[in-house]
Structure 1
Amino acid sequence: MSGDFVEDAKVEISGMAKQGMRHPSTKPVLTGAAVGAAAGWLLPLVSIPAGLVLGAGVMFYKRLRP
């Protein structure tokens, strides 16, 4: 199962890199990154870069495993 996830992630990242904003996962992942960065700015325990990475990661995971 984890091998399937890793392979799916590679395909998805490759598609996002090649297609840019035309890829269906790019906008939700960037939105998640922005929301995470905003949460990092508002919450004292989370830094902005950590929030950005966590937000993007959560949305990327949700795109792979809805």
Structure 2
Amino acid sequence: MADPTGPRGTGDFLHDARRELAGMLEEGLDHPSTKPVLLWGAMGAAAAVVLPFVTIPLGLAAGAGYKFYKRVRPD
């Protein structure tokens, strides 16, 4: 199900991702994508603590990257 607060895309992933990231950097925590991306990053870092061979920065990047991707491409 598509997120109603998610961005409306143009079809070009790089353009949409750049626009979304620029909005997140400009608006900070007021942007609707910032908090979910940070939360998933924290969950990825927490999961990395328990998983062998996964470092905390890798877990952070994986969690945040996954949620950022799903915000840009919800389907």
TM-score by length of 1: 0.93
Note if 1:19 corresponds to 2:43: no
Counting aligned pairs with the same residue, the percent is 59
Q: Which residue of 1 is the match for residue 53 of structure 2? A: 45
SS in 2 for 1:30: helix
CA RMSD of aligned residues (A): 1.0
Structure 2's unaligned 5+ residue stretches are 1-10
Q: Which residue of 1 is the match for residue 64 of structure 2? A: 56
SS in 2 for 1:17: helix
Aligned residue-pair number = 64
Name the CA distance, whole Å, in 1 between partners of 2:32 and 2:53: 32
**Stretches (4+) displaced over 4 A:** none
TM-score by length of 2: 0.82
Give, in angstroms, the shift of residue 27 of structure 1. Answer: 0.4
Choose between structure 1 and 2 for higher RCO, CA contacts under 8 A separated by at least 6 residues.
Answer: 2
